Structure 1
Amino acid sequence: MPFWWTFGKVPEVSAPELQQLAESLDREQIDPKPLIIDVRTEAEYAAGHVKHAVNASFLPPWSFPNRVEPIVKDVPKSAQIIVICLSAHRSIGAYKWLRSEGFSNVKQLAAGMQDWRARHLPEQAQK
């Protein structure tokens, strides 16, 4: 089954857990450093994203590897990676691709940015 088939259950992190992780990146040296990848479109990302998240749009899915490879090329395979999308569907495909590349500690944000926003958690926006 292709990685872009965005159905199934994958490990998740809650919005409060991700907020705590993002905040800890400002205060602590974590080795290997966790990576937060927002797989929404560039416009969605620019409108508001989790602090420290980098953007690698999942759309179209067959181009995702070309967008994310430069981001993960120097990341240890054991590093924690959290993938984020709007409603936790596109992130499933991103999760599957990252796992297929040997990354062992990948999770998605449960219920995506919809839950993050419902909880009124802080967002960064591009100017």
Structure 2
Amino acid sequence: MQTPEITVQDLDTVLKAGKKPVLLDVREANELENSRLEGIVHIPMGEVPGRLSELDKNAEIVVVCRTGGRSGRITDFLLSSGFTNVKNMVGGMNEWASTIDTTMTVY
């Protein structure tokens, strides 16, 4: 099964339209100092399995990390755990910082 994805451009369009998917940031706490999206839910990758009850299985969830690798694995994990509408943000926060908000740090 291919991991469902959303580009940073498409997510930007969704957010500007006033839609509010859950933005699940799976980076480590220190990484949030570099760049972060407004309104994120922060659960570091290693903590996600033990904190599934904090997430709505039917909510639209976009998983975010630095470059899209960790978030891709968590997207697959959530889908295999019964979540129904999860997408990986392609390119992660570095792509967002390079393309959408160039005031953010690429690291």
Which TM class, normalised by the smaller chain length?
0.7 to 0.9
5+ residue gaps, structure 2, are none
2:11 to 15, 18, 24: 18
| Residues 100 and 24 (structure 1), Cα distance of their counterparts in 2 relative to 1, 3 Å cut | same
Larger Rg: 1
The superposition leaves residues 80-111 of structure 1 with CA deviations (integer Å, 9 ceiling, x where unpaired) of 11000111110122112211221111101011
Cα deviation, residue 54, structure 1: 1.3
Change (3 A) 1:23 1:122: farther
TM-score after normalising by structure 1:
0.69
Number of equivalenced pairs: 104
- Given that 2:25 and 2:64 are in contact with CA atoms closer than 8 Å, whether structure 1 keeps it comes out as yes
Indicate the residue corresponding to 1:5 in structure 2.
none
Find the counterpart in structure 2 of residue 46 from structure 1.
Answer: 33
CA contact (8 A) 2:35 2:93 kept: no
Deviations along 1:11-36, one digit per CA (max 9) or x if unpaired, are 111112212333444xxxx6xx6211
2:42 alignment partner in structure 1: 55
Q: For residue 69 of structure 1, what is the aligned residue in structure 2?
A: 52
The alpha-carbon distance between structure 1 residues 89 and 100, as it changes in their structure 2 partners (threshold 3 A), is same
- Of all paired residues, the percent bearing the same amino acid is 27
Q: CA deviation at 1:120?
A: 4.2
1:119 aligns with 2:103: no
Q: Is the 8 A contact 1:19 1:121 kept in 2?
A: no
Match of 1:78 among 37, 43, 58: 58
**Partners of 1:71 and 1:95 in 2: CA distance:** 15
Letter in 1 for 2:6: V
